[in-house]
Amino acid sequence: MFRKLTGAAMFGLAALWLFPLLWALWTAFRPREQAISWTLSTDLTMANFVTVWNGAPFAQYYLNTFLIVTVILFVQIVTATLAAYAFAKLRFWGRDVLFLLFLVQLMVPADILIFPNYNVLRDLSLLDTKLGIMLPYFASAFGIFLLRQTFKTIPHELEEAARMEGCSWWQILWRVYVPLARPTYIAFGLVSVSYHWNNFMWPLIVTNSVENRPLTVGLAIFAQSFETGAQWAEVSAATIMVIFPLLLAFFLFQRQFINSFIHSGVK
């Protein structure tokens, strides 16, 4: 009895959790004059999406976001792999202190340092550039910890065997560690991509021009351009458009996403 009740409650919770998305979807496909009413009707239209696509340079925003997310992920993987290997497998002078310094970044992430980092970017003359949006995130403490944890579980014998075969250090890294840590890379990749696809405050501060603005900032500007609630249908359509690629990827790979995260042994 108790088990059935909790089960029902948890399914109810799932329904509650799904509601905002379903409602936004429904609103986005309805004719705009019906958007604020709750009367059931079967009129569905793509008109809102057409209006939105023509109303703001979303193609450019997509491209910007795509570029920002890709470059950040690529650089993060390189820097995190090197650092994680050092922390996981080497005993060196100052390791504990350095580790603590990296830990600090986990607690004081770049997102909080919006004002000081704005000054750094200004000093580097990188304001209103895509590189400026990306730069603070090139080193990821989160990625380093995740990979370090995985590298630690890889037995040292494998590395020694590879060395006997005459592999150089980067060959060992590339042929032994990286392939064995694949699930962790996938997990980290998905987290990083979704994080930077969604990042808003920092790009809002850094960018001024359409050429550099990501989707989130574009969406905010689009949504704010309406004073009244009369354009709900359009704003919903724009919202759906922005979250669609990521959501689609998530629904397609959700098993892999969630499982890879679990198997990477986050503790």
Partner 1 sequence: MGRTQRANWKINIYAWLLLLPSLIFLILFTFYPVLQTVILSFHQADLGTPEPFFNGGENYRQMLEDEVFWKVLTNNLWFALGTVPTSMALGLAMALFANKVLRGKGFIRTAYFYPTVVPMIAVANIWLFIYTPEYGALSHVMEWFGQREMNWLGDKTNVMFAMIFMVIWKEAGYFMIFYLAGLQNISKELYESASMDGARPWTVFRRVTFPLLMPTTMFVMIIAFTNSFKLVDHLVIMTKGGPDNASNLLLYYIYETAFSFWDQGMASALTIVMVALLLLVAALQFFGLDKKIHYN
Q: Which of residues 43-72 bind partner 1 (CB under 8 A)?
A: none
Q: Residue 73 Cβ, how far from partner 1 at the closest point, in Å?
A: 15
Tell me the residue type at 2. F
Query: Does 162 contact partner 1 by CB under 8 A?
Result: no
Which of the stretches 53-61, 105-113, 125-133, 159-167 binds partner 1 when contact is defined by CB under 8 A? Answer: 105-113
Report the SS3 class of residue 92. coil
> CA 198, CA 187: separation in Å to the nearest integer?
17
The pair of structure tokens assigned to 227 is 């004073």
- Do residues 73 and 230 lie in contact, with contact meaning Cβ atoms separated by under 8 Å? no
Q: Residue 158 Cβ, how far from partner 1 at the closest point, in Å?
A: 19
Query: Does 14 contact partner 1 by CB under 8 A?
Result: yes
Q: Which of 1, 41, 54, 93 binds partner 1 (CB under 8 A)?
A: 93
DSSP secondary structure letters along 21-88: HHHHHHHHTS-GGGTT---------SHHHHHHHHHS-HHHHHHHHHHHHHHHHHHHHHHHHHHHHHHH
Q: Which of 15, 40, 97, 164 binds partner 1 (CB under 8 A)?
A: 15
- Do residues 65 and 244 lie in contact, with contact meaning Cβ atoms separated by under 8 Å? no
Query: Does 120 contact partner 1 by CB under 8 A?
Result: yes
Query: Does 74 contact partner 1 by CB under 8 A?
Result: no
Q: Residue 251 Cβ, how far from partner 1 at the closest point, in Å?
A: 7
Tell me the residue type at 186. I
Query: Does 155 contact partner 1 by CB under 8 A?
Result: no
Report the SS3 class of residue 167. coil
Subset of 199-228 contacting partner 1 (CB under 8 A): 199-201, 204-205, 216, 219-220, 223-224
Query: Does 112 contact partner 1 by CB under 8 A?
Result: yes
Query: Does 131 contact partner 1 by CB under 8 A?
Result: no
Query: Does 235 contact partner 1 by CB under 8 A?
Result: yes
Task: Provide the 8-state DSSP code for 112.
Answer: G
